[in-house]
Structure 1
Amino acid sequence: MEHYEFTENQIKVAVTERLKHYNGTATDVWDYLEKEGFLFHGVIRDWSGVFYHGFYYVFHHFLNDDQPQEDCIPPDSGITWDKLFKRDTVAGKLFSFMESNKFRIFIPEQAAIDAFLDGDMDSSLQSPKHKFQIYCFQDRCSLLVEPYLQQTIPPYGAHYESIQYPEDRCQLIFDLDVLITDTKKNKRTLPEGESLDVLEKVDEDLLAATRERVKKIYDEHTLIGLLHSGGIDSRLTLQLMLEHALKNPDPTKKIWVISADTLVENPGVLKIIHELRDTLRANFPWIEYHIVEPKEDETLMVCLIGRGYQSPSVNFKYCVRRLKINPARVFLENVFVTEGSEETCLVLGSRDNESGTRKRSLTKFFGDDFYGSHPVSSIRTASPIRDWTRQEVVTYLTYHRAPWRKGARNTELLSFYSGAAGTECPLGAAVVNDNDAIMACGKNSRMGCYLCTLGNDKSMGNLIKGTHPEYEKYYRFRSIVKNIAQDIRYGGIVGMQRKGGSAASMLPAKIGRGIGDLTIDCRTHILQAMKRLQIEWRESEILTAYHMVQQRESVEGFPVTQRFRDAIYALLNLKRSGFQRLLCNPVFDPYGTGIDQFTSEDAAIIQRIMADKKSKLSSLK
């Protein structure tokens, strides 16, 4: 603890003077806090009030029908509040009051409890960031109360100086008013022509003009890159280009198809991409298919578990650059540029009619020109279906069979998107313009990553109700991650911001005001949910994330519990032995997991040695 310095930093967090609204029970609790001398330091993100009385306390509110989800709360620790606080202390009197007002008090498993019971024996459990988490449940008002074990930094970026309690907290907002407001807010209408309805036919003039654009692209370039996201727009663009290439064969032309796998893709979209790749390779071996992936230390799950980042939100879209922009950029720089930018064209499946935002983006990018210019070495880009509507896209794919013999059928593609009733998450936007990609992701794109926490993607729910009930596990997992790794009310975020320090320098970080990163308890809960729901995660990513935690533990001052290690081991299918973190020898622990283990190759060698030994012993007899 003495190695960490609490310091002031200039991070800006919006702090308000009252909750978004109150009900009678919440008002009673606030009346008690004011009466007992708790100083009020402001409200963070509408529902989290910060108070001080000897220590900092945070009250996270779940009011009326908005109650905490059961699968977002860790299991019972078996500890009662009076084992933590004497009844005659400030905290003891607070929880006595809560009990007397018919709150059911529940203390989940958590690092602070482990440290409390451990008595400073395990250095991994010591942390300047400890806070207790105590749930107080009632039908119309549930609270997560967080008593912090430090007196210096106001949690979650609250005011240093106390402020007046809101006098209008007794003015309640009735549930009926909230319901009406939410109903009006959620009404949305599709732009004209953007339904999945099939027309009698595609306008002949539109089709002729589009084929001329395709011909222009084909004639003027030797390398054509078709960006394919797995959706219907990019499928149409690919089909039109292949139809032209098959009618006008030219051995000097190269056609490459480029898709992105964020490693958290919608499983249906990923299946479409892989089926198309296999079909094209079987039918047209001269077409190269490339699937780009993010770097292992920048995948979404590694960012969550290893780096402790909050799940992506509207104000923190770190995922777009790491999962989409950077992998595509690296591919273009390493491969396409060698062919020469003048001879290369990236063909997009972007349309003006998708949304107002997309139209403004394309207009800004292309203007009145047919070709745009990519930031990487000014590679040309073109979007031949800019003026198509979604209905026209669907109509063409319905009536025009794909130009390959079998597999990756248009009917299967349309059936999938009809069941999802969502639009594709475009690879094109991600590689053409960084800012537009970041702004659009999770806003206009309604189907992409199954773990997308940027927007309200309903496509997965539609698929579960219809043709893909097996996707429910992804839907449930996203809900858990979105809640505990984004909504501070679940206590999954530290409430203090790291400032400085690095694993490379091994210099301890300074700790200041801010929202902060994910707690070790939050990360553990995510890992346990992955195991329970059987969510796939590559072993190499798991090890990368675990190594990050090991490297950052002492530098960033967060505790690492045995529960976290066990959750990691469970995903690696390792079992704990009696020796952990003792031998510290890479021969016995090649992956740095803290458990002696051996690979399948090691096992084969051991069996061979034992068989040889047995054979020699037999010969001696």
Structure 2
Amino acid sequence: MKKYMFVDQKQKVAVEKRLKDYNNLTADIWDYLEEAGFLFHGTVRDWSAIFFQETYYVLHHFIKDQPQMECILANSGMRWEMIFERKSNAGALFSFLEQIGFDMYIPVQAMIDAILDDGEDWHYQSPKHKFQMYCFHSSCSLHIEVYMQNLIPPYGANREPQPYPEDRCQPFLDFNVFTLEKGKMGRARVTEGETLDILEALDEDLLEETRKRIKKIYDENTRIGLLNSGGKDSRTVTQLMLEHAIKNPDSTKKIMVISADTLVENPGVTSLIHDLKNALAEALPWVEYHIVEPREDNTLLVCIIGKGYQAPSVTFKYCVRRLKIEPAREFLEAVFLAVGVEDTCLVMGSRDNESGNRKRSLQKYFGDDFYGHHPVGAIRTASPIRDWTSQEVVTYLAFNRAPWSRYGARNTELLAFYGAAAGSECPLGAAVVNDNEAMMQCGKSARTGCYLCTISSDRSMGNLLSSFPEYEKYYRFRGILKAIGQDIRYGGMVGLQRVGISKIGSGIGDLTIDSRSHLLEAMIKLGIEWRHSEIRTAYQMVLQRETIEGFPVTRRFREAIYTMLGITGVFRGLSFHPIFDPYGTGVDQFTEEDEVAVQRILEEKNKFMVKA
């Protein structure tokens, strides 16, 4: 195991000179800190202030809101006096907070484990440890972190102390300035034709022109890939093309439908994709169906639990590349580029009216030409319903029965789902645009994409709850992930940046082992599904860092992993053991497949005994 080293590095965290707002109580607390000699090192992300007095303290402020209890670990039952002496700087601060009416709450955490362990278990020895305590009050709440290192200011704060803000004694006025200017908060204009209203009839000229485009694509290409995101636009294109192929059979044509499953899709969208695949397998077996998935070491939950990545945000969209762009490109390269791109076309359901970004993207890649070119290998692309409106799309689906509907995946089911979600589908990654434009669109224009999407304010999942109450668990878990994985006030990030093996620098940092344990426990409580192979991959990543760097893997984290894998009893000690289970494949586990096999054997045994 290597020892940690503290290193200087450039970081891009914006540090402010004051909180975004104060109230009378927080002003009193800051007065105390200044009088007690705490040095002020700046504020990060509006509400988190960093101070120094022999070691670093972080005060996360909840002024306009209160902490969500679902996002806080269980009560440890400890009091701060069991850890800090009253005469210490920390003890004096905590005593003051109690005197002015705060209730103290110390959650379970790796820091307490390390103290109780008293150095006997090397798993708990880490300079990344920080003591965490919540302080609740009706006027505001605090989450205080006390760091066990005094070399690097947490969260990228200024190295040099700065003056306390003089205007902190001015409490904010809690009113909405927009009420003073009528019209500022008005509802955004809906693009004409982009509602989900069904028209009396579809324009016959539009349909005839579109079918000519479909014929052109079919006649001029021998390999046709239909990009299906699970939504209404791509469903329309798929149906139009397959209807034409049925009427004009040609054994030289190879048609395949391509969908992407990020493994954290909205469950309704996942069902729509798999239902269509199953229906096509029965109705049109000559149509290939491929569902593209990310590599196991790049799935979202593996990145979060295994690698400790923060939840994706507008400024940190690592998920787009890993979950969508790379899997789609790898598939296109393997299937199309391997045999050449001549006479090959990818057909999309993209429309100009979807959004301003989509219109600009289509104009860039198509211009006035019929065919565009994909960034991967310059594969030809076509968008035959580019000039359709949303109303025309849903009208077509409502009045035209799909050729596979006898076997499921009916258009009426798709439209019913849309009516409940009131959103548009998430585009197939890298199917239309280059990396930068894919990053810009994901989480902005999509409203029924990943159920774990923490980039956008996706209302579709909330809208679906009345029709699909079983989706509530996904809705709740996304809220927990967004809070813990993005809002530093919950202490979910280390507050120190990992800049290499066993090296620590200034920055926000990765997710703590405590926050990852909390996410796992929330998944268990809510019943969030996670493939066992992904769980093993994530756990092995954590164990590897533990072995190399002494990363503090707590018993809570291990127990949560074992629970999700269904490992019980003595086998918990053997699983992932460096000698008994070096590959993390499990030792004598009783899986669901084992249970089915045992049940089958018992049934056969009973039949034999009855005959005897």
Compute the TM-score of the two structures, normalised by the length of structure 1: 0.92
- Structure 1 residue matching 2:381: 3-state secondary structure: strand
- Deviation, 1:556, is 4.6
Q: What residue number does 1:421 align with?
A: 422
- 1:55-204 counterparts in 2 under 5 A? 55-64=55-64, 66-177=65-176, 180=179, 187-204=187-204
- Residue identity in the other structure for 2:155: Y
Report how far residue 599 of structure 1 moved: 5.0
CA RMSD of aligned residues (A): 2.3
1: CA distance between counterparts of 2:46 and 2:88?
A: 29
How many angstroms does 1:241 deviate by? 0.8
Shift of 1:181: 9.5
1:419 CA displacement = 0.4
Q: Distance in 1 between matches of 2:56 and 2:448?
A: 42
Matched ranges for 1:548-563 at <5 A: 548-563=541-556
Residue aligned with 1:133, SS: strand
Q: Secondary structure at the match of 1:342?
A: coil
Match of 1:617 in 2: none
> Does 2:437 match 1:436?
yes
Q: Distance in 1 between the 2:265 and 2:232 partners?
A: 16
Would the alpha carbon gap of residues 578 and 272 (structure 1) be closer, same or farther in structure 2, given more than 3 Å must change?
closer
1:360-408 residue CA offsets vs partner (Å, 9 max, x unmatched): 1111121121111112221101111111111111111111111224111
Residue 13 of structure 1 is matched in structure 2 by: 13
Change (3 A) 1:550 1:147: same
Aligned partner of 2:391 in structure 1 is: 391
2:440 matched to 1:448? no
Q: Counterparts of 1:365-514 in structure 2 under 5 Å?
A: 365-406=365-406, 407-427=408-428, 429-430=430-431, 432-464=433-465, 466-501=466-501, 509-514=502-507
1:194-343 → structure 2 map (5 Å cutoff): 194-343=194-343
Alignment check: 8 A CA contact 1:224 1:254 kept:
yes
Letter in 2 for 1:414: L
CA distance change for structure 1 residues 601 and 14 in 2, over 3 Å: closer, same or farther?
closer
Paired with 2:594 and 2:266, the residues of 1 have a C-alpha distance of: 37
The offset of 1:428, in angstroms, is 5.8
So what's the TM-score if we normalise by structure 2?
A: 0.93
TM superposition shift of 1:579: 8.0
Residue type at the aligned position of 2:421: A
* Maintained 8 Å contact 1:580/1:596: no
1:324, 1:430 within 8 Å by CA — same for their partners in 2?
no
Q: Please tell me the residue identity of whatever aligns with 1:50.
A: I
> Which residue in the other structure is 1:592 paired with?
584
What CA distance in whole angstroms lies between the structure 2 residues aligned with 1:416 and 1:454? 22
Instruction: Call closer, same or farther: CA 1:299–1:293 in 2, change over 3 Å.
Output: same
1:504 maps to none
Q: Report the CA distance between 1:26 and its aligned residue.
A: 1.4
Whole-Å Cα distance in 1 between the matches of residues 364 and 385 of structure 2? 17
8 Å contact kept, 2:236–2:393 = yes
CA–CA distance in structure 1, aligned partners of residues 236 and 571 of structure 2: 59
Counterpart Cα distance in 2 of 1:544 and 1:459: 31
Greater shift in the superposed pair: 79-88 or 400-409: 400-409
2-structure distance, mates of 1:224, 1:156: 50
Closer, same or farther: CA 497–335 of 1 in aligned 2, 3 Å: same
Contact 1:13-1:514 within 8 A present in 2 as well: yes
Count of residue pairs brought into register by the alignment = 596
Q: 1:405 to 1:422 in 2, by over 3 A?
A: closer
Inter-partner Cα distance in structure 1 for 2:245 and 2:576: 62
The runs of 5 or more residues in structure 1 that have no matched partner are: 502-508, 612-621
With 411-420 and 339-348 compared, the bigger mean Cα shift is at 339-348
Partners of 1:579 and 1:302 in 2: how far apart? 21
Q: Quote the offset at 1:467 in angstroms.
A: 0.9
Supply the distance in 1 between the matched residues of 2:587 and 2:233 (Cα, whole angstroms): 51
Question: Structure 1 residues 310-319 or 186-195, which shifts more?
Answer: 186-195
- The verdict on how the C-alpha distance between 1:602 and 1:425 changes in structure 2, with shifts beyond 3 A counting, is closer
CA drift of 1:156 comes to: 0.3
Instruction: Name the amino acid aligned to 1:100.
Output: Q
> Once the two structures are superposed, what CA deviation does each residue of 1:507-526 show, in whole Å capped at 9, x if it has no partner?
xx211100000000000000
Alpha-carbon separation, structure 1, partners of 2:572 and 2:423: 51
Asked if 2 retains the 8 angstrom alpha-carbon contact of 1:442 and 1:454, the reply is yes
> What residue in structure 1 maps to residue 28 of structure 2?
28
SS of residue in 2 equivalent to 1:120 = coil
| Cα distance in 1 between the residues matched to 2:534 and 2:185 | 40
Q: Which residue of the other structure, out of 540, 558, 561, is the alignment partner of 1:565?
A: 558
In structure 2, relative to structure 1, the CA distance for the partners of 1:77 and 1:186 (3 Å cut) is farther
User: In structure 2, the residue corresponding to 1:175 is in which secondary structure?
Assistant: coil
Match of 1:618 in 2: none
The equivalent of 1:524 in structure 2 is 517
SS at match of 1:304: helix
Letter in 1 for 2:409: A
Change (3 A) 1:186 1:552: farther
Please say if residues 230 and 269 of structure 2, whose CA atoms lie closer than 8 Å, have aligned partners that are also in contact: yes
| 2: CA distance, partners of 1:126 / 1:590 | 24
Aligned residue for 2:196, secondary structure, equals coil
Distance 1:584 1:590, change over 3 A: closer
Q: 1:535: which partner in 2? A: 528
Q: Secondary structure at 2:40's aligned position in 1?
A: strand
3-state SS of 2:420 partner: helix
Identity of aligned residues (%): 63
Query: CA 1:88–1:187 in 2, change beyond 3 Å: closer, same or farther?
Result: farther
- Distance (whole Å) between structure 1 residues aligned to residue 575 and residue 347 of structure 2: 56
Indicate how the Cα distance of structure 1 residues 545 and 224 shifts in structure 2: closer, same or farther if over 3 A, else same.
Answer: same
Post-superposition offset of 1:103: 0.5
Answer whether contact 2:2 2:550 (CA < 8 A) is retained. no
> Is contact 1:543-1:591 (8 Å) kept?
no
1:181–1:545 distance in 2 versus 1, CA, 3 Å: farther
Contact 2:227–2:348 (8 Å) recurs in 1: yes
Distance in 1, Cα, partners of 2:405 & 2:267: 24
AA aligned to 2:391 is: Q
1:90 Cα shift? Answer: 0.6
Deviation at 1:557?
Answer: 4.8
**Contact 2:576–2:582 (CA under 8 A) maintained in structure 1:** no
CA–CA distance in 1 between the matches of 2:207 and 2:66?
Answer: 53
